[in-house]
Amino acid sequence: MYDHVDQRVTDLSRSRPVYGALMAVMGFTQISEDPESICWYDPRDPKRQPFFSLVRASEHQPNGARVAFRAESRQNVDRLAEAALRAGARSFEAPHECTEYTPRYYATFFEDAEGNKLEVCCRN
């Protein structure tokens, strides 16, 4: 389990739509923001739950790193994929089986507005 993810981006407003759509579907609906960051929390217990944030970093350059969000079912992968696509995800790959990873691995792959690589997957 992770404590938090700080995703670096150069432009918060340009990057926000894809992450905001994903976080809303995953239940991370409590938002804290300032000029340098946007943080999404689970409202049930924001002090103890993991959180996801965008952090402004003017020198950030996307690379091969990928953040993969776990979904509990294929239907949730599909829901998150649709939300990301509607919010402007780039280089979008529709959900599909990735048996080259492991049996029953089901995932969608895409990028945010700055080219950071993202994935939503499940293993059942």
CA angle 97, 107, 80 (to 5 degrees): 135
Residue 77: predicted pLDDT: 98
Give 88-98 pLDDT, tens digit per residue.
999 999 999 99
Give 57-80 pLDDT, tens digit per residue.
999 999 999 999 999 999 999 999
List the chain domain ranges. Answer: 4-122
Q: What is the mean pLDDT of the chain?
A: 94
pLDDT at 85 over 70: yes
Return the HEC string of 14-80. HHHHHHHHHHHHHCCCEEEEECCEEEEECCCCCCCCCEEEEEECCCCCCCCCEEEEECCCHHHHHHH
Residue 3: predicted pLDDT: 85
Distance in angstroms (rounded) separating the CA atoms of residues 123 and 3:
22
Residue 1: predicted pLDDT: 59
**Residue 2 pLDDT grade (very low, low, confident, very high; cuts 50, 70, 90):** confident
Q: Residue 103 gets which letter from DSSP?
A: T
Distance in angstroms (rounded) separating the CA atoms of residues 74 and 77:
5
Q: Which tokens go with 124?
A: 């059942």
Give 15-34 pLDDT, tens digit per residue.
999 999 999 999 999 899 99
Distance in angstroms (rounded) separating the CA atoms of residues 85 and 92:
7
Q: Who's near 41: CB < 8 A, 6+ residues apart?
A: 28, 30, 31, 32, 49, 51
Q: Is the pTM of this model over 0.85?
A: yes
Q: How many C-beta neighbours within 10 Å does residue 40 have?
A: 24
User: Is domain 4-122 in CATH 3.10.180.10, yes or no?
Assistant: yes
